[in-house]
Amino acid sequence: MGTRASIPDIVIGRLPIYLRALGRMIQEEREYTSSHELGERLGISSAQIRKDLSHFGEFGKQGTGYNVQYLYEQIRHILKVDHEWPMAVVGVGDLGRAIAHYRGFQARGFRVAALFDADPKLLGERVGNLTVLPMDQLAAETQRLGIRIAMIAVPAAEAQAVADRLIEAGVTALLNYAPISLAVPEGVHVQYIDPAAHLQHMTFYLTP
Amino acid sequence: MGTRASIPDIVIGRLPIYLRALGRMIQEEREYTSSHELGERLGISSAQIRKDLSHFGEFGKQGTGYNVQYLYEQIRHILKVDHEWPMAVVGVGDLGRAIAHYRGFQARGFRVAALFDADPKLLGERVGNLTVLPMDQLAAETQRLGIRIAMIAVPAAEAQAVADRLIEAGVTALLNYAPISLAVPEGVHVQYIDPAAHLQHMTFYLTP
DNA sequence: CTACGATTGTTATGCTATTCACATTTTCCC
DNA sequence: GGGAAAATGTGAATAGCATAACAATCGTAG
Ligand SMILES: NC(=O)c1ccc[n+]([C@@H]2O[C@H](COP(=O)([O-])OP(=O)(O)OC[C@H]3O[C@@H](n4cnc5c(N)ncnc54)[C@H](O)[C@@H]3O)[C@@H](O)[C@H]2O)c1
Ligand SMILES: NC(=O)c1ccc[n+]([C@@H]2O[C@H](COP(=O)([O-])OP(=O)(O)OC[C@H]3O[C@@H](n4cnc5c(N)ncnc54)[C@H](O)[C@@H]3O)[C@@H](O)[C@H]2O)c1
């Protein structure tokens, strides 16, 4: 195929996993891999990997497999992480700080470019190489920096209000760490990080 | 139905989301809700919620809906979070500290009960009300405390080795924050938290 | 130069998940 | 007390996804 035509969202969700594995293979200086090997590493069937990739083009060679570096670049391009996205973090508590200090985003296409908090005591404080800004500078600063993505790290009770302000400021992708589902207009994307939910998923299978 | 018989894993994965929403409704002192209202809040169809719940029993009343408190307790029971699970955190860096300080686990059925790190400089340090322990106490301490769940917050290069040690110590549920897929034996459950992967999922849909 | 093993991309098949639709039950209001 | 409105639980229908399977292709060894 190679042309889009509404590619299943679940397929898009697996591409970052493939990318992650390919990144490690590059570190290991592996030059070629196969759908079978990738599948083994990820616990996914080789057929699924080939099928997923076939939505976007033909990246492999029969008999040989995939050139690791080439496939890596292709998926980076598909996911649009072949350039760096600046992001805002709202809420500079324990979690917001850990995120702001985290060095791992850079290699995956992201950079924390602005920090916001409502607490006057935090304003002006430096975290990493950034200064914590007040919420009333949110719109101006995100627009100035071309920020389209934000991470929400405020208490659950505040998360919807913060999301609304971010969306008003032009942010269209939200990664929400607060344990609450957000209501957002069409065209705004939301993803959730809820460790307690993952834990509860696993306890179902544990014997008490 | 009400009897098990292999309930789809994807259904189990949604129960914590329902629980989260019901918890908020309890805070809001709502006494009854409906599949329709829950669905609205969560962006899920009402039919799906009814079907999911029907795997476990009949919790609602026609014409009335669901008693919020009752449904909450039922799902807590199904997920086995009607009692508290002690957990270990391995890796007391920025992220491990944020996790250790996090107050939100308690209400969802979990408690950080032990911290481990390989760095001799951190050993004995107090984080929250816990002391950082060396890795060679991992097996003894998890067993002493009855820990069956661990969160991995070490660098990716160390994560597989840490997972192996945890599994050897009898831990059977892992929440992995390191951006790498883990190989684990049958019977061990793994969930992943990878914010960069979520972000990459969203950038696919953003215009560059 | 040929034959074989490896591996892809894709089509066909089967399975799983979601939605639809409705009989049934409950509440509430006149 | 009766009828309308609201809501559940579920079987049937639809849609979506994953797996199996294979022809086509490539590299290599003899
Ligand atoms: N710490 C963790 O490990 C962890 C894990 C999972 C989820 N979470 C969730 O992440 C969120 C933050 O957690 P935390 O531990 O960092 O909490 P925290 O209380 O340490 O920090 C919250 C920060 O948000 C700021 N804030 C509050 N209201 C705001 C508003 N309206 N606008 C802007 N800023 C505002 C506060 O001033 C504070 O600095 C919470 O929703 C929590 O449930 C945290
Ligand atoms: N900080 C974040 O916001 C963030 C976000 C997402 C993912 N992560 C991931 O979480 C992990 C931890 O991140 P961090 O920022 O806290 O890193 P960090 O370097 O601050 O902390 C890592 C800790 O792990 C310890 N450690 C290293 N090897 C160990 C071993 N073999 N056994 C036990 N302990 C060991 C180190 O001593 C250190 O204290 C990384 O894999 C990172 O990619 C972090």
Task: Tell me which residue of A56, A50, A44, A122 sits closest to A90, measured CA to CA.
Answer: A122
- Sheet-wide strand order for B126-127: B126-127, B130-134, B110-117, B85-90, B149-152, B173-176, B189-192
Contact list, B198 vs chain A (CB under 8 Å): 16, 175, 191-193
Task: Say which residues have a Cβ less than 8 Å from residue B159's Cβ, sequence separation at least 6.
Answer: B152, B176, B178, B180, B182
Task: Tell me which residue of B90, B64, B88 sits closest to B155, measured CA to CA.
Answer: B90
Q: Taking CA atoms, what residue in B is nearest to A40?
A: B183
Task: Say which residues have a Cβ less than 8 Å from residue B30's Cβ, sequence separation at least 6.
Answer: B68
In testing the pocket of ligand 1, which one of B95, B99, B102 has its CB within 8 Å of the most ligand atoms? Answer: B102
CB contact under 8 A, B202 and A191: yes
Q: Taking CA atoms, what residue in A is nearest to B179?
A: A20
CA distance B111 to B154: 19
Q: Read off the pTM.
A: 0.96
CB contact under 8 A, B43 and A181: yes
Query: CATH 1.10.10.10 region(s) of chain A?
Result: 9-78
Query: CATH 3.40.50.720 region(s) of chain A?
Result: 85-197
The residue behind tokens 């391995």 is B90
CA distance B21 to B15: 10
CA distance A186 to B204: 16
Identity of the residue numbered B197 = A
From A15, A175, A181, residue closest to B199, measured CB to CB? A175
In testing the pocket of ligand 1, which one of A154, A175, A177, A182 has its CB within 8 Å of the most ligand atoms? Answer: A154
- Name the 3-class secondary structure at B27: helix
Nearest CA to ligand 1 atom 43: A178
Whether A62 sits with its Cβ under 7 A from any strand C atom: the answer reads yes
What pLDDT is recorded for position A6? 87
- Name the 3-class secondary structure at B128: coil
Termini Cα distance of chain A: 49
CA distance A173 to B151: 27
Q: What is the mean pLDDT of each run of 10 residues along chain A (208 residues)?
A: 72 98 96 96 97 97 96 98 98 96 97 98 96 98 98 98 98 98 97 98 95
Residues in chain A: 208
Buried b (16+ CB within 10 A) or exposed e, A55-76: bbeebbeeeebbbbeebbebbb
The residue behind tokens 């939301």 is A190
Gap from B69 CA to C23 C1', in Å? 28
Task: Tell me which residue of B102, B37, B11 sits closest to A205, measured CA to CA.
Answer: B11
Termini Cα distance of chain B: 49
The pair of structure tokens assigned to A183 is: 């209501």
Would you say A160 and A144 are in contact if contact means Cβ atoms under 8 Å apart?
A: no
DSSP-derived pairing of the beta strands B149-152 and B173-176: parallel
The pair of structure tokens assigned to B55 is: 């795997």
- Helices marked H in chain B — which ranges? 9-27, 35-42, 46-54, 68-78, 94-101, 138-145, 156-168, 195-203
Gap from A48 CA to D17 C1', in Å? 10
Gap from A3 CA to C11 C1', in Å? 18
**CATH class of the domain comprising A9-78:** mainly alpha
User: Dihedral angle at the C-alpha atoms of B173, B175, B179, B184, nearest 10 degrees?
Assistant: 0
**Superfamily in which the A85-197 domain is placed by CATH:** NAD(P)-binding Rossmann-like Domain (3.40.50.720)
In chain B, which residues have pLDDT < 70? 1-5
Nearest CA to ligand 2 atom 25: B91
Nearest CA to ligand 1 atom 37: A119
What pLDDT is recorded for position B6? 87
CA distance B102 to A110: 25
Residue nearest to nucleotide D11 (CA to C1'): B51
Interval B86-139: pLDDT, tens: 999 999 999 999 999 999 999 999 999 999 999 999 999 999 999 999 999 999
Task: Say which residues have a Cβ less than 8 Å from residue B41's Cβ, sequence separation at least 6.
Answer: A181, A183, B21
